[in-house]
Amino acid sequence: MSVTDPVQLTADLIKCPSVTPAEGGALVLLEERLSAAGFACTRVDRGGISNLFARWGDKDAAKTFGFNGHTDVVPLGDESAWTQAPFGADIVDGIMYGRGATDMKSGVAAYVAAAIDFVQKTPPNGALILTITGDEEADAIYGTTALLDYMDQQGEQMSVCLVGEPTCPNEMGEMMKIGRRGSMTAWFEVIGKQGHSAYPHRAKNPLPAMARLMDRLASHELDQGTDHFDASTLAVVTIDTGNPATNVIPASCRATVNTRFNDLHSGDSLTKWMQSEVDAVSKDFDMPISMKVKVSGESFLTPPGELSDLVAQSVEAVTGVAPELSTSGGTSDARFVKNHCPVVEFGLVGKTMHQVDENVPVEQITQLKDIYARILKDYFA
């Protein structure tokens, strides 16, 4: 029985130009490989986004190990700045180059290769489920959420789930994720009255009101962190009037803040706090202030236990490095999976993700397959 090569599979996936929302052939390729290995595959496309659900084993199995990943990639940026073909998967001095090499076609390839070999060589007493989306890098509206909706409708259930996002900052094996901070963005607009800057009493300047509001939000200490999370943060990312003139008081001013928050807060509680600040400043300056909020994901934590121990022990066995249990970084699709079952994340070193000349050492792809294979073996032991 042949061994599935994760390096070649990574290269084959990189050659699929799957910039969100394009499928690019990546999910078609995975469906072919998984179906040939005995996985029952179903396309779960929604809203112009391609998604793949695959299961090996009985639907009513007592233990089902899940994997979540994505094959969509971010745009190339300045293509002329690339020194290697962005979709060429060229290997130079042991390094494979291409968009998605790190984030996260290599992770998908490593797990698929491990899963195929596992079920063919040592069929487990249980089931494997893979949920692969084409909508992680964009708004994530029609991706993993569509797959989870499909699973709910079909009565499919993962006992636990591993997300294969890059998790290691610098060294293979050094970090895994047991949770993520929440993320939300808020947009504000203060409406004043335009006028000549030489006659400010005839205008209503929205800028001091916005400056006051932004200062109140940014200078407020949300918390001091928790056992598993750093302190929550709020960053003012833009303040703008669109006013090119130096002798005109503008009619309005807009600003945007981005908040990354831990499990002491929710999107709803932070929205209520920001609205109270808006109301106070609006009253002080006698100007209407509007606020619009988008919560990209709530914070969550999978408490250290059997699942994190299983992954950590497998990582250390292969790499010799005991991974830190972290909640740092941005959001991932684990924020959706956590509503379905316990979830942790482990993947490659992510230093070059989204960069020009994104790349991955080929030895790390092989290591990652070995880690995933050991996780599966020990889970079903």
The verdict on 307 and 320 lying in the same domain is yes
The verdict on 238 and 141 lying in the same domain is no
Residue 244 lies in a domain: yes
Q: Is 72 a catalytic residue?
A: yes
Q: Quick one: which of 163, 158, 161 has its CA closest to 62?
A: 158
Tokens of 374: 């050991």
The verdict on 244 and 356 lying in the same domain is no
Q: Average pLDDT, whole number, for the chain? A: 96
Q: How far apart are CA 144 and CA 132, in angstroms?
A: 8
Confidence of residue 53 (pLDDT cuts 50, 70, 90): very high
Question: For the range 241-246, what are the long-range contacts, defined as Cβ-Cβ under 8 Å and sequence gap of 24 or more?
Answer: 241/206, 241/207, 246/197
Q: How far apart are CA 306 and CA 379, in angstroms?
A: 10
The verdict on 77 and 48 lying in the same domain is yes
pLDDT at 162: 98
Across the range 73-86, mean pLDDT stands at: 96
Enclosing domain of residue 237: 182-297
The verdict on 305 and 233 lying in the same domain is no
Catalytic pick among 31, 117, 136, 333 = 136
Counted domains in the chain = 2
The verdict on 19 and 85 lying in the same domain is yes
Residue 4 DSSP one-character state: P
Q: How far apart are CA 271 and CA 291, in angstroms?
A: 9
Last residue of a domain, one of 248, 281, 297: 297
Q: Write out 108-175 in H/E/C secondary structure.
A: HHHHHHHHHHHHHHCCCCCEEEEEEECCCCCCCCCCHHHHHHHHHHHCCCCCEEEECCCCECCCCCCE
Residue 327 lies in a domain: yes
Across the range 35-64, mean pLDDT stands at: 97
| % the chain with pLDDT above 90 | 97
The verdict on 20 and 67 lying in the same domain is yes
380: three-class secondary structure by DSSP: coil
pLDDT at 329: 84
Q: Flag whether pLDDT at 330 surpasses 90.
A: no
Q: Flag whether pLDDT at 125 surpasses 70.
A: yes
The verdict on 47 and 152 lying in the same domain is yes
Tokens of 227: 């056992």
pLDDT at 331: 85
Q: Is 90 a catalytic residue?
A: no
CATH number of the domain residue 44 falls in: 3.40.630.10
| % the chain with pLDDT above 70 | 100
pLDDT at 72: 97
pLDDT at 55: 98
* C-beta of residue 102 within 8 angstroms of C-beta of residue 96: no
Catalytic pick among 12, 72, 298, 358 = 72
Q: Flag whether pLDDT at 46 surpasses 80.
A: yes
Q: Quick one: which of 227, 225, 107 has its CA closest to 167?
A: 107
Residue 39 lies in a domain: yes
Confidence of residue 239 (pLDDT cuts 50, 70, 90): very high
Q: What is the pLDDT of residues 284-324, one digit of tens each?
A: 999 999 999 999 989 999 999 999 999 999 999 999 999 99
The verdict on 135 and 274 lying in the same domain is no
Residue 1 lies in a domain: no
Whether the CA torsion 193, 194, 200, 205 is positive or negative: it is positive
pLDDT at 1: 56
Last residue of a domain, one of 241, 276, 297: 297
Confidence of residue 83 (pLDDT cuts 50, 70, 90): very high
Across the range 105-119, mean pLDDT stands at: 98
Confidence of residue 139 (pLDDT cuts 50, 70, 90): confident
Q: How far apart are CA 144 and CA 135, in angstroms?
A: 8
Question: For the whole model, what pTM was predicted?
Answer: 0.90
Last residue of a domain, one of 275, 297, 319: 297
CATH number of the domain residue 255 falls in: 3.30.70.360
Alpha helix positions (H), 194-237: 206-219
The verdict on 17 and 136 lying in the same domain is yes
Across the range 258-268, mean pLDDT stands at: 96
The verdict on 306 and 272 lying in the same domain is no
- Across 312-369, where does the E strand assignment appear? 324-326, 343-345, 359-361
pLDDT at 2: 73
Confidence of residue 176 (pLDDT cuts 50, 70, 90): very high
The verdict on 128 and 267 lying in the same domain is no
